[in-house]
Amino acid sequence: MEMKFDGNFEVGIPRAETFALLSDPNKFMPVLPMYHSMAAKESEPNTSIVKLKIGIGKVHGIATTEIALQDNQAPEKASYVGKGNVMGGAYNMVVGFNLEDAANGGTRINWHGTTQIYGRILSIAGGGLSGIAEKEITRVIGSLQDALASREHFEAVVRQAQAAPAAEGLIARVARFFRELFGSAPAPAAPAAAADATDTAPARTEPLRKDPSRGVIAPLGSSIQVDSDGSKQWTGQRLRRKEDERLVRGLGRYVDDYVGGHIAHVGYVTSPYAHAKILAIDVSAAEALPGVICTLTGKQVAAQTTAFMQIGAEPSANLKDYGIAQDKVVYPGEPVVLIVAETARLVEDAVQLVTVDYEPLPVVLKSEDAATDAVILHPEVGTNVSFAGVWDHGDVDKAFAEAAHVFDIGRLHFHRFASTPIETSGAVATWSPRGEVEIVCNNGLPGVTVQMLAAFLNVSTEQIRMKSEDVGGNFGTKTVNHTYIALAAVASRAIGGRTVKWVETRTENLACFHGGERTFLDTKVALDADGVITAIRSRHLDDAGGLLRYEPLGCSIWSQVYPATYRLRNMHIEFSQVMSNKAPCTPNRGYSRMQHIWFMERVIDICAHELGLPADEMRAKNYIRADEMPYTTPNGNIYDSGDYGMMLDKAKELIGWDEWQRKQTEARAEGRLLGIGIGSTVDSGTNNFGQVLYVNPHQVFSGNTEACRIKIGLDGSIVVTLGSSPQGQGHETTTAMVIADDLNLPPDMITVRTGFDSSWNTYSGLSGTIASQFAVTGLSAAHGAALKLKAELLRLAAHTLQAAEDQLEIGVGAMGPEVRVVAEPERAINFWMLSNLANANISNVPESLRDINLNVMDVYKPPFEPVDVEKKIGNQTLTYAPQIHIAVVEVDRTTCQPKILDYAVVDDCGVAVNPKIVAGQVHGATCHGIGAAMQEAFQFDESGSLITATFTDYAPITAINMPPLKTAATSTPSPFSFNGAKGCGEGGGGPLHCISAAVQDALHSEGVIVTESHNSPSILMEALRAPNRAQVVARA
Amino acid sequence: MRDATSRVVVDVTVNGLSYQREIEPRLLLVEFLREELGLTGTHIGCDTSYCGACTVLLNGKVVKSCTVLAVQADGNRVETVEGLESDGKLHPLQSTFSELHGLQCGYCTPGMLMAAKSLLDGNPSPSEDQIRKGIAGNTCRCTGYVNIVKAIDAAAQQMREE
Amino acid sequence: MYPAPFRYHRPASLEAAIGLLGKFGDEASIMAGGQSLIPMMKLRMGDACEVIDIGRLPDLSFVEIRDGMLCIGALSTHASIAASEAAARIPLVQEAGGGIADRQIRSMGTIGGGLSVADPSGCWPTSLRTLKTSVQVRGPAGARSIAIADFIQDSYVTTLQPGELVTEIRIPLPAANTGSAYVAFKRTAAAYPTVSCGMELVMDGQTCTSASIVLGAAGPMAVLCAAAEQALVGREVTETSLGEAAELIVAASDPPADARGSAAFKRAMLKTLVLEAGRRSLARSRGEQVKGGHRYA
């Protein structure tokens, strides 16, 4: 935020003296009402460090300002240039004055000032800050005027101010705190020991938990079915989740739940600036604070690590990212100094004691501006464009030449938001004396992250034990918390391997993990006489933010859903990604595809409105038809199955389409703005990492993999481990169901260990929970492992029972799970005995069966072919789960507040392994989309400060904001997965599409087309004030 | 408790057990529960009293334990998710949340359960609107609140029948 | 996020609290329920060195009718006020208490704290300004009573002198045929009001004899407008006259543009809230039971 002030006043002192007073900070500063203390800066003689007490009402803090006198032209003019920090933010100011002789022998002071404020204070103080600042300035000028009334008075004021005991600042206060703590004894020599004492509780006398049977979690009761359909198959049953047994008792184990012991804590000094050069860093006061173990600057980190691998090709591959700023900062919230201290509280105390000297640089916020390279973020890259490529398929020129209608559509913009899991990112890291590091974290893609970490830390992937247990939501955002995890490992190594914990604060999370923003320019659409779209030509700019984390991979994955749900064959998209001074973009539920589908849906609705075609008819004309499935898109994606037309009919029925049409007619007659909008979307799941070659042909990823291991324990128990890192999707339950079906056992008898653990040796190079894939990748691996295990069990049992394998079955006997002869069930051997034969009592097994270990792993490898990099043709995902959303929205004429009057969603996730879990995914994705469409948006001021820096300002959607949902499911089994399931977690952003459509339907009569994905009342009010329908130009 | 010094001694009864600890006055109740008592079921989700993941009952009243100092709980009674189950029997809310899939990642769940418990303690038959308002101080990112609202309604019904 | 270190004091009596306040002066921060103070301390926006916890002081938590006035102890929680039968005598008060943030915050937050913070978007500063509220304070020099109009001097600034704290809020009981309402627009429960409006109407038959309208979060302080009130006094309260009053008072407001919304949106929403508060007040002046509650996104 920038503020400018000016004014003038007269004083009774002659000009030369006035100048002398005003140009001497030692005399001038103490006159200020908020003066606290002052010292000269040793290194720069011209510069003073002034401490001012600044506050809003009862809330006040000490602002440390470094000021230097510049442009000193006695006795006419001079100016002070200053910069400082206050309340977690930063500010710069220039205050100048021109002096003139006044009539009475006094002086006329003309003053002017400019100040820029940065940081979270802008968010917390809201829009009232400029008014408050204005009053502060008035107060300053008032007291200056008062003090300069006469020389005597002035000197008295200065004396008084200098004599007043300065209020105690934070450093003194913290030091005092420790002095008091240790009585009059001198401060202990070792800071670590000091803080240990601070935070060591008296000896524990009570058990850790109330529950004396801690560690033994009683089952919730029968987990079997709520609504059994009588089938013998577990797949398809609405089972209660195994996970719930611990989670409803508060016994989940999340990263932050590693407490006590000897854990040190990690935190960061972060940048208040969106773009600035780092001139100097002073950590001495922080390091002197008892309890602070060490600090690390970016340079210190870089000296012992290798910059993170970049996914993109040159020149973006030249980007040097160490997870912590080096010479400059490129977004607000970027880590600048890492601090390790005995407690999380001490870390925050130390953060306040670090001084960083910045030189602000011009900021780039808009994608179009970034693309001009007028201001370049990363000199080592030389451009802000991290990727540029053209997708050109079919014969676009011919289609335009033959078109009956052509529309030009102006700028469309998809906004920044994030799904902000309630658990923030975190990591606990410990180095062993053997040079191995154990990391507990909540990363979403550990298979890849292990590789990223190893290269960064200069160790082998096999020296990293990577682990996740319960994870409190992710929605893609934790895919790229690897830089922070790596820095936690660096911090542990820096303090001799001691365990450190880093848990992100919500404010840090909101500053650093944003979903992607995209701008769509120069769109041209060709249609035939019936309103069928034949070609689209457009230019898309994706905003990666300040650094590339898993980008520019997002630049390719939108093309998984290239034509969205539509049949058009001719497309020309010039796609680039640019870097801007905002938080690095992370994957976020619907990653990259929802932005593109939103664009396609805008095109459909804008064309439909201009042609006067109803939205449902327009879609029915243009949808890919059920009889065309599997359907190959112009760029080689194979849509597996689905009947979009039927789903639309079902959604219309669900919402009461005809009735709403009637109500809409009535409402319009009353002058009300009521709209009905459809959003058609597909969620592409199980991606082919080969598409990364579109952005960098030298990359070494292709296809996809996921691992599952099943072992029969020595006591016959069945234990399953997975390579996935679930965050609420119920992997324990669905995996047990699939294996239960394969082994003919109840899911309760199958233990699925939660989370990822590289020491289980159950993972692949691409393991993780991302991109709507577990139902296919993870469950296929579970199925594969179960079949392998079953084969081993039958082979071994056949020998023992002296029966042919095809006469055997698995089931539950009196002694637990067993293999038995179908015709003679009493001829059986249980799993305990079998495990014993395979692992302990092996001499009784013939040589030919000694390869059996009853510990099997399967890695699922979907049937992907390499992509054609030149033509950008290839199958990028295995399954496509469509959803049709319909929203009825009324926009209040006075306030422009949109209100959802009715909402329906129909999904097709293929065969639902557990319909309860699938429905939950649909609900959650719908809520994220509604939140984003209606109330959630990251907002910035012109200097790049985030003004939605806390949850209170960002205001994520709550139960009172959610409309009731009408939901229904259809199922067209995927031909490409063993069980007909499709990935469905991301959902495809349906609410963003249908709410934009409904708002446009409501406002089109007022000359408005919807060009923003965010529908806040402020945006809609602006749209109604300046109708933009003229942006759509029809050409014959 | 002692007079104001750098550290203070507090006595807090949590889920029926009494605990005494010497702590820094700045320690938040949620940190006290998690770090001092090892009761990690109560979670931290934000910095500004928004998300309600840390919701517990203080003397029977629903509060956000990230916005209460541990010293404010001195001499008082705290109930957390770990105390919901009694005599090996789950609270009806715990059962219905699981049956109706009112939780996914489970991170907001303890706070949501405590908020719901306090709602039902004061109003055994809330309408849907009252349920939504009753959990308005709790953010869930997984469920869209659809099944949470159903689970609270079902638990209320079950508790009325008992 | 955690507060910086501070020293904690829990005085046993009001007198002791006043003594500590005097002793520590600028360094002292009063904590009642802590619902405003603790988040600020966690964000390290404040500089609280000596926290004086008055939350347990005796005899400051009550909601009662006394001498023709609704008297509310400074330590009464928002929840206890919302649930109070005495407070129900003035629907605006009950509505304000019941609409602050969420149930958790209302359990702990107090009226004395909410008023003393003097946040321009706070519910108590706006709602109590609508009525002839007086604020009872105690300090080293004894007790005094401050009219609400004089109590809040600016954004976050009150007239409380060093060593003083709020002990009680007093509001004269309304005359017959009086109706009042307080309504805010909020994005979510836990978010601060984007804008809000308090209103009190005294009716004589169809004619309004007295009107008080106050806008919250519409400028650095509560916004009042004599012309807007005059647009109702002596007239029938209708959509038209309310609309005129709304136009006048909103023209006098200066809502800042921020993350909660643009100034234009806030003005439009304020007009709607004035109408809504007017309708509710009018209905209540006739003894009708009207459902309260805020508007949410």
Predicted confidence (pLDDT) at residue B3 exceeds the cutoff of 90: no
User: Which residues, 6 or more positions from A702, have their beta carbon under 8 angstroms from its beta carbon?
Assistant: A688, A689, A690, A693, A864, A866, A867
Contact C8 B137 (CB under 8 A): no
- Say which residue the tokens 């802008």 belong to: A122
Lowest mean pLDDT among A47-61, A959-973, C141-155: A47-61
Predicted confidence (pLDDT) at residue A163 exceeds the cutoff of 70: no
Supply the pLDDT for residue C123. 97
Supply the pLDDT for residue A32. 77
* Paired sense of beta strands A638-639 and A673-687, if any: unpaired
- Is residue C147 a part of any domain in this protein? yes
Question: In this complex, which of A345, A419, A959 lies closest to B135 when CB atoms are compared?
Answer: A959
How would DSSP label each residue in chain C? --PPP-EEE--SSHHHHHHHHHHHGGGEEEESS-TTHHHHHHTT-S--SEEEE-TT-TT---EEEETTEEEEETT-BHHHHHT-TTGGGSHHHHHHHHHSS-HHHHHH-BHHHHHHH--TT-HHHHHHHHTT-EEEEEETTEEEEEEHHHHEEETTEE-PPTT-EEEEEEEEPPPTTEEEEEEEEESSSSSPPSEEEEEEEEEETTEEEEEEEEEESSSSS-B--HHHHHTTTTSB--HHHHHHHHHHHHHT--PPPBTTB-HHHHHHHHHHHHHHHHHHHHHHHTT-------EE-
Distance CA B41, CA B23 (A): 21
- The residue with greater pLDDT, C59 or A134, is C59
Contact B25 C1 (CB under 8 A): no
Which residues on adjacent β-strands are paired with residue B55? B64
In chain A, residues 602-631 whose CB comes closer than 8 Å to chain B = none
The string of pLDDT tens digits covering residues A72-115 is 888 899 888 888 877 778 888 888 889 999 888 889 989 888 88
Task: Tell me if chain B has a CB within 8 Å of the CB of C107.
Answer: yes
**Domain identity same for C239 and C253:** yes
Task: Tell me if chain B has a CB within 8 Å of the CB of A546.
Answer: no
Q: What's the maximum distance between 2 C-alpha atoms anywhere in chain C?
A: 60
Model confidence at A45, pLDDT cuts 50, 70, 90, reads: confident
Structure tokens at A907: 């999904």
- Is residue B58 a part of any domain in this protein? yes
What is the CATH classification number for the domain harbouring C34? 3.30.43.10
Supply the pLDDT for residue A219. 59
Model confidence at A218, pLDDT cuts 50, 70, 90, reads: low
Task: Tell me if chain A has a CB within 8 Å of the CB of C38.
Answer: no
Phi-psi category of A766—alpha, beta or left, where left has phi over 0 and alpha has psi -120 to 50? alpha
Supply the pLDDT for residue A213. 37
Chain A residues in contact with B119 by the CB 8 A cut-off are none
Question: In this complex, which of C27, C185, C220 lies closest to A128 when CB atoms are compared?
Answer: C220
**Domain identity same for B117 and B99:** yes
Supply the pLDDT for residue A137. 77
Predicted confidence (pLDDT) at residue A212 exceeds the cutoff of 70: no
The string of pLDDT tens digits covering residues A402-447 is 999 999 999 999 999 999 999 999 999 999 999 999 999 999 999 9
Number of domains in chain C: 3
Distance CA A227, CA A238 (A): 6
**Domain identity same for B109 and B60:** no
- Alpha-carbon dihedral sign for residues A189, A191, A196, A197: positive
Supply the pLDDT for residue A187. 36
- Is residue C2 a part of any domain in this protein? no
Supply the pLDDT for residue A56. 66
Stretch (H or E) spanning A417: none
Task: Fill in the amino acid letter for A108.
Answer: R
- Is residue B112 a part of any domain in this protein? yes
Question: In this complex, which of A124, A135, A1016 lies closest to C45 when CB atoms are compared?
Answer: A124
User: Which residues, 6 or more positions from A823, have their beta carbon under 8 angstroms from its beta carbon?
Assistant: A807
Question: In this complex, which of B5, B67, B133 lies closest to C39 when CB atoms are compared?
Answer: B67
The string of pLDDT tens digits covering residues B131-149 is 999 999 999 999 999 999 9
Q: Are A29 and A80 in contact (CB under 8 A)?
A: no
Question: In this complex, which of B15, B26, B83 lies closest to A345 when CB atoms are compared?
Answer: B26
Supply the pLDDT for residue A57. 62
Distance CA A563, CA A571 (A): 8
- Is residue B1 a part of any domain in this protein? no
**Residue B145 distance to chain C (closest CA, Å):** 14
Domain that holds residue C255: 178-287
Distance CA C88, CA C83 (A): 8
Question: In this complex, which of B6, B26, B137 lies closest to C2 when CB atoms are compared?
Answer: B26
HSE value, Cβ hemisphere, 13 Å, CA-based, for A957: 26
**Domain identity same for C167 and C182:** no
How would DSSP label each residue in A333-367? T-EEEEEEESSHHHHHHHHTT-EEEEEE-----SH
* Residue range A833-842: mean pLDDT, rounded: 95
Supply the pLDDT for residue A918. 97
Distance CA C60, CA C58 (A): 6
Distance CA A241, CA A614 (A): 43
Q: DSSP H helical segments within A497-592, as ranges?
A: 506-512, 554-557
**Domain identity same for B144 and B124:** yes
**Domain identity same for B112 and B73:** no
Domain boundary among B30, B60, B83: B83
Phi-psi category of A129—alpha, beta or left, where left has phi over 0 and alpha has psi -120 to 50? alpha
Domain that holds residue B46: 8-83
Domain boundary among C140, C172, C204: C172
Chain B residues in contact with C109 by the CB 8 A cut-off are none
Neighbours of chain A (3+ CB pairs under 8 A): B, C
What is the CATH classification number for the domain harbouring C206? 3.30.390.50
* Residue range A731-759: mean pLDDT, rounded: 96
Supply the pLDDT for residue A403. 98
Task: Fill in the amino acid letter for B23.
Answer: I
Q: Is A227 helix (H, G, I), strand (E, B) or coil?
A: coil
Q: Is B71 helix (H, G, I), strand (E, B) or coil?
A: helix
Q: How far is CA A871 from CA A392, A394, A1005, in A?
A: 8, 11, 42
Scanning every residue of chain A, which has its alpha carbon at the shortest distance from the alpha carbon of B41?
Answer: A250
**Domain identity same for B42 and B74:** yes
**Domain identity same for B22 and B78:** yes
* Range A8-17 burial, b when 16+ CB lie within 10 A, else e: eeebbbbbeb
**Domain identity same for B19 and B79:** yes
Lowest mean pLDDT among A161-170, A616-625, A1003-1012, C5-14: A161-170
Contact A59 C271 (CB under 8 A): no
Task: Tell me if chain B has a CB within 8 Å of the CB of A262.
Answer: no
- Is residue B3 a part of any domain in this protein? no
Scanning every residue of chain B, which has its alpha carbon at the shortest distance from the alpha carbon of C50?
Answer: B4
**Domain identity same for B75 and B102:** no
Arithmetic mean of pLDDT over chain A:
90
- Is residue B2 a part of any domain in this protein? no
**Residue A896 distance to chain C (closest CA, Å):** 8
Supply the pLDDT for residue C283. 98
All structural domains of chain A, each given as residue ranges with its CATH number in brackets, are 2-167 (3.30.530.20), 257-364+419-512 (3.90.1170.50), 389-417+514-575+590-692+867-1030 (3.30.365.10), 705-860 (3.30.365.10)
Task: Tell me if chain B has a CB within 8 Å of the CB of C23.
Answer: no
How would DSSP label each residue in A959-998? TTTPPP-EEEEE----TTSTTSB---SSGGGHHHHHHHHH
**Residue A540 distance to chain B (closest CA, Å):** 30
**Residue B6 distance to chain C (closest CA, Å):** 6
This prediction's pTM: 0.93
What is the CATH classification number for the domain harbouring B22? 3.10.20.30
Predicted confidence (pLDDT) at residue A211 exceeds the cutoff of 60: no
Supply the pLDDT for residue A413. 98
**Domain identity same for C183 and C282:** yes
Predicted confidence (pLDDT) at residue A177 exceeds the cutoff of 70: no
The string of pLDDT tens digits covering residues A297-323 is 999 999 999 999 999 999 999 999 999
Predicted confidence (pLDDT) at residue C151 exceeds the cutoff of 60: yes
**Domain identity same for B77 and B47:** yes
Predicted confidence (pLDDT) at residue A528 exceeds the cutoff of 60: yes
Task: Tell me if chain A has a CB within 8 Å of the CB of C88.
Answer: no
Chain C residues in contact with A131 by the CB 8 A cut-off are 155, 219-220, 256
Contact C191 A961 (CB under 8 A): no
Q: Is A235 helix (H, G, I), strand (E, B) or coil?
A: coil
**Residue B40 distance to chain A (closest CA, Å):** 6
What is the CATH classification number for the domain harbouring C102? 3.30.465.10
User: Which residues, 6 or more positions from A95, have their beta carbon under 8 angstroms from its beta carbon?
Assistant: A79, A80, A82, A111, A112, A113
- Is residue B18 a part of any domain in this protein? yes
- Is residue B26 a part of any domain in this protein? yes
User: Which residues, 6 or more positions from C241, have their beta carbon under 8 angstroms from its beta carbon?
Assistant: C208, C231, C232, C235
User: Which of the 8 DSSP states describes residue A804?
Assistant: -
Contact B6 A962 (CB under 8 A): no
Number of domains in chain B: 2
- Is residue B39 a part of any domain in this protein? yes
Inter-axis angle of helices C263-285 and A1017-1025, nearest 10: 110
Contact B38 A260 (CB under 8 A): yes
CB atoms within 10 A of CB A190: 11
Question: In this complex, which of A180, A181, A927 lies closest to B144 when CB atoms are compared?
Answer: A927
Domain boundary among B24, B57, B83: B83
**Residue A128 distance to chain C (closest CA, Å):** 6
**Domain identity same for C186 and C258:** yes
User: Which residues, 6 or more positions from A241, have their beta carbon under 8 angstroms from its beta carbon?
Assistant: A223, A730, A732, A733, A916, A917, B98, B101
The string of pLDDT tens digits covering residues A267-291 is 999 999 999 999 999 999 999 999 9
Distance CA A563, CA A682 (A): 10
Burial class (CB in 10 A: 0-12, 13-18, 19+), A845: middle
In chain C, residues 144-203 whose CB comes closer than 8 Å to chain B = 188-191
Distance CA C1, CA C3 (A): 7
Q: Are B34 and C80 in contact (CB under 8 A)?
A: no
The string of pLDDT tens digits covering residues B36-90 is 999 999 999 999 999 999 999 999 999 999 999 999 999 999 999 999 999 999 9
- Is residue C58 a part of any domain in this protein? no
Domain boundary among C155, C172, C189: C172
Domain boundary among B83, B104, B137: B83
Q: What angle do CA A856, A860, A863 make, to 5 degrees?
A: 150
Q: Are A1032 and A409 in contact (CB under 8 A)?
A: yes
**Domain identity same for C272 and C183:** yes
Scanning every residue of chain B, which has its alpha carbon at the shortest distance from the alpha carbon of C100?
Answer: B137
Q: Are C255 and C267 in contact (CB under 8 A)?
A: yes
**Domain identity same for B106 and B47:** no
Task: Fill in the amino acid letter for A982.
Answer: K
Supply the pLDDT for residue B140. 98
**Domain identity same for C236 and C162:** no
**Residue A209 distance to chain B (closest CA, Å):** 6
Task: Tell me if chain B has a CB within 8 Å of the CB of A598.
Answer: no
Q: Which of C103, C106, C117, C186 to mutate to test the interface with B (most CBs of B within 10 A)?
A: C103
Distance CA A944, CA A825 (A): 73
Question: In this complex, which of C7, C34, C101 lies closest to B4 when CB atoms are compared?
Answer: C7
